[in-house]
Copies of this chain bind each other. A is one copy, B any other.
């Protein structure tokens, strides 16, 4: 089963630590009474105080984050500071109350018969792959902008790493590494920026390789209430927060750029 039900309650944990990890920030907080999530699930997160008053008086709504680690009573997130919400979280101080809703959505499905899992991550998209890796043996291909971002690869044991600028690991895109592996009997588990996921969708489609993509989408609620997070699939729009975030590549019309 790839979906743990969330407690029907926005609960309040406490920030324990926020540290840098290369270009990213790692936030650890308590998760009082939260159940064990399944790899690929996510949480809606907001700080309880001073959530707002950033650029353009934002953030207002909570933000969605995959979990990096979960151990009884403690959650870890990895953040990339791209706007007022992630910026506020990146600045959180130990002791601050933090709102948590989750685990939400449908995570990764077990690997298909006679196939080996191949985990493919790009940038901050590596996050859901870490708990997944703990559950299944298989190759790990990680792509980053540069060496500073690639520091996060150290979270995995022996991943194959590449960077856009060649400052560390292979010089090139992770999808190039993936291309060489698609003749093997693999099932791809991918998460990363839209352009990368779209490339993975097309490549695996052509080569008839099954792929599960963990998508991102602008979210307001995270539990199916707003219908705001939809992506186009072969049977119409589906809500990434309840029907995903992990979706079969074969079912998607496209991975939207937003």
Across-interface contacts of A52 in B (CB, < 8 A): 52-53, 57
Across-interface contacts of A54 in B (CB, < 8 A): 50
The proximity string for A residues 34-64 relative to B, scoring 1 for CB distances below 8 Å and 0 otherwise, is: 0000000000000001111110010000000
Across-interface contacts of A51 in B (CB, < 8 A): 53
Distance in Å from the Cβ of A83 to the closest Cβ of chain B?
A: 15
Complex Cα distance, B53 from A57, in Å, reads 8
Q: Chain A's interface: helix, strand, loop or mixed, by majority?
A: loop
Interface residue ranges of A6-57 to B (CB < 8 Å): 49-54, 57
The proximity string for A residues 207-223 relative to B, scoring 1 for CB distances below 8 Å and 0 otherwise, is: 00000000000000000
Across-interface contacts of A57 in B (CB, < 8 A): 52, 57
Across-interface contacts of A50 in B (CB, < 8 A): 50, 53-54
Interface residue ranges of A38-96 to B (CB < 8 Å): 49-54, 57
Complex Cα distance, B49 from A54, in Å, reads 8
- Which chain B residue has the least Cβ–Cβ distance from A60? B57
Distance in Å from the Cβ of A88 to the closest Cβ of chain B?
A: 9
Complex Cα distance, B54 from A50, in Å, reads 6
Complex Cα distance, B52 from A10, in Å, reads 23
Across-interface contacts of A49 in B (CB, < 8 A): 53
Distance in Å from the Cβ of A95 to the closest Cβ of chain B?
A: 14
Residues of chain A whose beta carbon lies under 8 Å from any beta carbon of chain B: 49-54, 57
10 A–B contacts from the bound complex (CB under 8 Å): A49-B53, A50-B50, A50-B53, A50-B54, A51-B53, A52-B52, A52-B53, A52-B57, A53-B53, A57-B57
Beyond known contacts A51-B53, A52-B52: 8 more, CB 8 A cutoff: A49-B53, A50-B50, A50-B53, A50-B54, A52-B53, A52-B57, A53-B53, A57-B57
